[in-house]
Amino acid sequence: MILMLSFITMSNGRILVVEDESKIAEIVKAYLERDNFTVTVAGTGKKAISVLREGFDLIILDLMLPDMDGEDICETIRNDSSVPIIMLTAKNEEEDRIKGLGIGADDYVVKPFSPRELVARVKALLRRVKGTRDKISFNKEDLVIDASRFEVWKKKSQVTLTPTEFKLLQCFADHPGQVFTRLQLVNIILGYDFEGYDRTIDAHIKNIRHKIEDHQRKPTYLKTIYGVGYKFIGQPDED
């Protein structure tokens, strides 16, 4: 009994991995378990739906399954649950990404992905939904973001960010490795698309860089993806 209790306490959460490619499923499972998550793997949509009632804290859902569309499963889940969902897909089209988020997925990871990044995204999403967003830190505590207090620390001294800068940085930090287009970033800070405004994102990024980067031309956090946008390249510290 005591053993069981301590096992339950140790788990960071129950994750359902819906993925038909067993190699990918095994890797994801191994990485999540290493971080003390309890993992169930379902190789088909049917199996996924049959185990849903077991209750999960988060679902990682492959878009292409042999028996069902990941989108259909997502909609089925959304009919009676608000469990966080991360979509996995080999498709890299912008429309698919938006479509995926439109049908109720909370986040999107494009294959091939690094398992480490996926685990970071799982943790970030769980923090976001639980509302227990404690401090998150990057590059060995070089950058610390305390979302509950709206505070950012660089090399242990506090930096002052405007609310817009904070919102942008927080969004990047929650999605390490993900490329955001300028238009997506406009959408994040304004809540809607506003063409023509996207270049001002560059100004915000420049300001944030001045506050958190050691070398403006060699950023270790906000990398420019030429012709596309930006991505966050800080390395999340282990919890």
Residues within the interface to Ca ion (CB under 5 A): 20, 62, 64
Which one, 42 or 126, has the nearer CB to Ca ion?
42
Nearer of residues 68 and 233 to Ca ion, judged by Cβ: 68
Rank residues 61 and 124 by Cβ distance to Ca ion and give the closer one: 61
Closer residue to Ca ion (CB): 17 or 145:
17
- Give least dist CB 92 to Ca ion, A: 15
Q: Which is nearer to Ca ion, 22 or 114 (CB)?
A: 22
**Two tokens at 30?**
């191994």
In the complex, the smallest distance separating the C-beta of residue 39 from Ca ion, rounded to whole angstroms, is 17
For Ca ion, the nearest residue by Cβ is 64
Fill in the amino acid letter for 69: D
Angle between helices 94-102 and 70-80 (to 10 degrees): 20
Q: What whole-number distance in Å separates Cα of residue 78 and Cα of residue 231?
A: 29
| Angstrom distance (rounded) from CA 23 to CA 129 | 29
Q: How far is the CB of 63 from Ca ion (least distance, A)?
A: 7
Q: Using CA atoms, how far apart are residues 129 and 197, in angstroms rounded to an integer?
A: 29
CB 109 within 8 A of CB 87: yes
CB-based contacts of 133, cutoff 8 Å, min separation 6? 127, 147, 148
Q: Which is nearer to Ca ion, 62 or 106 (CB)?
A: 62
CA-nearest of 69, 53, 125 to 61 is 69
Cα 180-181-185 angle, rounded to 5 deg: 75
> Cβ 64 to Ca ion, closest distance in Å?
4
**How far apart are CB 111 and Ca ion at their closest, in Å?**
9
Spatial separation of the C-alpha atoms in residues 127 and 36, rounded to whole Å: 15
Min separation Cβ 60 and Ca ion, Å: 12
64 DSSP 8-state letter: B
* Of residues 109, 95, 85, the one with CA closest to residue 24: 109
